[in-house]
A and B are shown apart, each in its own frame.
Chain A
Amino acid sequence: MKKMFKVVKREYLERVKKKSFLIGTILGPLLMGGIIFAPALFMKFTPESVVKIAVIDGSGVIFDKIESALSDTLPDGTNKYELRKIETSGLELNTIKRDLNLEIESDVIDGYLVLPEDVVKESKATFFGKKLGNIKTMERFESAIDNVVISERLKREGLEYDVVGKLVKEVEIEMIQIKEGEEEAGKGFDSIFMSTMVFIMLLYMSILMWGIVVQRSVIEEKNNRVIEVMLSSLRPIDLLLGKIIGVGAVGLTQYLIWVTCALVFALYGLSLGGPVAEIAANLSPATMAYFVVYYLLGFFFYATMFAGVGAVCNTDQEAQQLQQPIVLCLVFTIIVPMMIIQNPDGMFATLLSLIPMFTPIVMFMRINILTPPAWQILLSILIMLGAIYISALISAKIFRIGILMYGKRPDMREIFKWMKRA
């Protein structure tokens, strides 16, 4: 035991002292948060520009109303939509379109709208443009025309748009999550999902990364032959556990730093209100505790397997082949959230969260979304502990023999033989 802790200490200090640890600790959450929040932020901060649109108004009555409906302004106060009415007097539609197409080509306008004479009756119009991709702009544009056309129709029927609007107003349902019997104020589902995804990605990344660090360190020790000196001083199991615990502790340090930052942020963020408070509300101490617990369980389970892989391989390349089934299990767990989110309490999600390979990430996700029954959480932890024990036992046997094998990599049959013999 004492010697094992010397190994733990060495593995821990040698890694924590490295610059890459600091960089990883800072960059990890930024990266994961970036991947998940970037698209939304990107949309938000894309600079808006004036949209120039030509309108061929066949009905002759709609243009002015559309223009006044699209009164959005840019941050600098100018109008966002610049509409130009095209007079059709005596000209062929195709001739006008040809001219407008050229204007689009030379970027004079962004597009043009053709409103046929009977637009109010038929509800059909056509938009021509080069870039049809900007969903936000197009949606706004469409709804403006909608409103104008509908109100025009209502007027023809002798109805007032505003009055009808009030009559057909939809019921707004506010979603409030009940967690542990308490109302969770101000938590939109989106924010739960987003922040859960950040944590899941962090779990995935760190379990995989630190697991592979263990594997690498076994291979390295094997390759530089330091292993024989080690074995003349302590038992293989001390070395194996020392390595795994040492590396696991490095990861844990990282987690504690993250969790501390998250809690400080939560404390501060709640008072800010708005979307920040929404995210902050998800960073409860309980969530953070589960975050750390499932990291530890996941890490020890996967790291023992990675150590076994390392013990039978001589190079990282060899190991990459053999580690694939293990890595795939992990990858699978970050693909399934989409399925789980639809029915986090369903059979599929529940079962998945109780299979050791998937427990850490899937159970953590379920806990975040709906708080499963306590017995399920407890069971998942017990199952993980049992799985870690078995995985460590098997790994220790492979390790015992594998670490002194050089040359040809043993095939699966030989590895099974070792498990029985050792």
Chain B
Amino acid sequence: MLSIKNVTKRYDGHTAVDDLSLVVEPGGIYGLLGPNGAGKTTTIRMIMNIIQPDEGSIDIFDAPLSEKTKEKIGYLPEERGMYRKMKVLDHLVFLGEIKGIDRSTAVMRANEWLDRVELGDWRDKEVEALSKGMQQKIQFISTVLHDPQLVILDEPFSGLDPINTQILKDIIITMKNEGRTVILSTHLMDQVEKLCERICLINKGRKVLEGKLSELKLKFSKNVVSMRFSGDKKILEGYPDVEKISEFGNDLSINLKDGADPNRILSFAIEKGQVERYEIGEISLHDIFIIKVKEKGGELDEEDV
């Protein structure tokens, strides 16, 4: 579906995307994750050929992007923009037409979608009369109006209230079930944890991690246990299986060495003190990200994550 090979993009003074490679298979929801400024939007703009990479190549539907393949893609940019003076329906139909569908189809689908997101009464209003949330829904419709096989959404939830966020999530899941491929770029990792099958984590233009979300979680959670332990932490630190211990208030988060059995440290801890809570960690994407970034010696601005 999409393959990015060794792509680099430099702006004067800094490298926005640095030797990035990734492959998106057809079907499912693919998460492109990372903090603000990680290079997600730059990557997507390069996929859409809005900007050109300095190095590397991008294939989409097994070939470089052409005018014809643009018609198979729906793109919701991070920067939202519409023709403010146009009527809602005209706007949607126009964007549909430049994606190659004919006028009558565009009108029909636009009306269907407007009803579906409960904006049917607004079709003859000028865009600028709509609230920001409504405009965002209109823009989302324009992204999918031409029935694209690949949908690329850059920060689709920003600025949406919880209800509309849920509506949008439902639509994304429906699209996946219809066999479309969705690429979802966001810095809100917990938002997509339940949506994405595969993810790619990037930071400072570089790929930190890529793979199937469930496998990644399994892999990382196997080595992490969290424990509320009243006793001397130093005793645990000395235990051979332990890689590292971090403290979060009363809780300890313990990284185990590869191949260590989580049960062994539990029985050791019980011998040495009181264990009030013990969990073979369900690890969040956020934690995985921090672990991986720190592993690579990168710095991280916590606010961004």
**B40 CB–A CB distance under 8 Å:** no
Q: Report B215-247 CB contacts with A as 1/0, cut-off 8 Å.
A: 000000000000000000000000000000000
Among A227, A231, A233, which residue has the most Cβ atoms of chain B within 10 A? Answer: A233
**How many residue pairs, one in A and one in B, have C-beta atoms under 8 Å apart?**
61
Assess A10 versus B94: contact at CB under 8 Å? Given A228-B50, A232-B50: yes
Q: A178 on the interface (CB 8 Å rule)?
A: no
For A421, the closest partner residue in chain B by CB is B52
Interface residues on A, range: 20 to 34
What are 11 A-B contacts with C-beta separation under 8 Å?
Answer: A3-B98, A3-B100, A221-B81, A224-B82, A226-B82, A228-B81, A229-B75, A231-B48, A232-B73, A233-B99, A234-B67
Q: Once the chains bind, are B80 and A7 in contact (CB under 8 Å)?
A: no
**A233 and B95 form a contact (CB under 8 A):** yes
The binding surface of chain B is classed by DSSP as loop
B70 / chain A contacts, CB cutoff of 8 Å:
232-234
The interface size bin for chain B is: 20 to 34
- The reply to whether B86 and A228 form a contact with Cβ atoms under 8 Å apart is no
Is A229 touching B73 in the complex (CB atoms < 8 A)?
no
Taking the complex as formed, is B248 at the interface, i.e. its CB lies under 8 A from any CB of chain A?
no
Also in contact, A229 and B81, with CB within 8 A (given A6-B94, A14-B86, A234-B67): yes
Nearest CB of chain B from residue A9's CB, rounded to whole Å: 8
With A and B bound together, what is the CA distance between A232 and B51 in angstroms? 11
* B85 contacts partner chain A, Cβ-Cβ < 8 Å: yes
Q: B67 — which chain A residues lie within 8 A by C-beta?
A: 3, 234-235
Asked whether A224 and B98 contact (CB < 8 A) given A229-B75, A234-B70, A404-B51, the answer is no
Is A382 located at the chain interface by the 8 A CB criterion?
A: no
Produce 1/0 per residue, B68-83, CB < 8 A to A.
Answer: 0011010101011111
The distance from the CB of A144 to the nearest CB of chain B, in whole angstroms, is 65
Q: How far is the CA of A14 from the CA of B87 in the complex (A)?
A: 10
Query: Is B84's beta carbon under 8 Å from chain A?
Result: yes
> Are A232 and B84 within 8 A (Cβ)?
no
Residues of A within 8 A of B (CB): 2-3, 6-7, 10, 14, 221, 224-235, 404
Chain B residue nearest to A13 in the complex (CB): B90
Known A229-B142, A233-B98, A234-B70; further 4 A-B contacts with Cβ < 8 A:
A225-B77, A225-B80, A229-B95, A229-B139
The verdict on A232 contacting B75 (CB below 8 Å), with A3-B98, A6-B97, A7-B98 known, is yes
* CB closest chain-A residue, reference B128: A224
List of A residues within 8 angstroms of B81 by Cβ? 221, 224-229
B85-A230 in contact (CB<8A): no
Min distance, Cβ B301 to any Cβ of chain A, angstroms: 22
Residues of B within 8 A of A228 (CB): 45, 50, 75, 77, 79, 81
Shortest C-beta distance, A237 to chain B (Å), equals 11
Given A3-B98, A6-B98, A404-B50, A232 and B77 contact (CB-CB distance below 8 Å): yes
A222 nearest CB across to chain B (Å): 9
Going nearest first, the 4 A-B pairs with the smallest beta carbon separation are A225-B81, A226-B81, A225-B79, A232-B75
